[in-house]
Amino acid sequence: MVFKVLIVDDDYINRRLLVSLLKKELYQVDIIESVDGRDALNKCQEHADIQLILLDVEMPNMDGSEFLKHYLSDENLTPVPIIAVSSNDLRIKEILNLGAKSFIVKPVTEEKLLTAIREQ
């Protein structure tokens, strides 16, 4: 079975890191990438079979908190676990209250990422 993950991050290097970690640990993974919350909402509508979202909190256009508000209020989307990722640990409570299941403080390590995924 293929595990389908949406990575939402405006930083190309951060996306590459997450892709690398996922492909190393999850042999059957299909990864979709998005550069901001607005683009991520479109990708969620296009790919109803997404099973996990890795969401950067600090992004231009639509940040992680705005994405969560729109995503979780859209009745046409089936909610999936969301792991928020940010270097700003002051927003942990806010992001978890908005509906993220986990919060990883950057820099993301293999151990942090796999622990968060297993807890879903």
Taking Cα atoms as reference points, which of 74, 45, 53, 38 lies closest to residue 7?
Answer: 53
- pTM of structure: 0.95
Answer for the pair 55, 68: CB distance below 8 angstroms, yes or no: yes
Name the percent of the chain lying above pLDDT 90.
90
Q: pLDDT of 56-105, one tens digit each?
A: 999 999 999 999 999 999 999 989 999 999 998 899 999 999 999 999 99
Instruction: Report the pLDDT value the prediction gives residue 25, as an integer from 0 to 100.
Output: 82
Give me the mean pLDDT over the 51-55 stretch.
Answer: 97
Query: The CATH number of the domain where 41 resides is what?
Result: 3.40.50.2300
Instruction: Report the pLDDT value the prediction gives residue 15, as an integer from 0 to 100.
Output: 97
Q: Is the pLDDT of residue 112 over 80?
A: yes
Taking Cα atoms as reference points, which of 111, 96, 85, 77 lies closest to residue 13?
Answer: 85
Number of structural domains, the chain? Answer: 1
97, with CB counted inside 10 A (0-12, 13-18, 19+), is: exposed
Q: Tell me the two tokens of residue 57.
A: 């909190």
Which residues form the domain of 18? 3-118
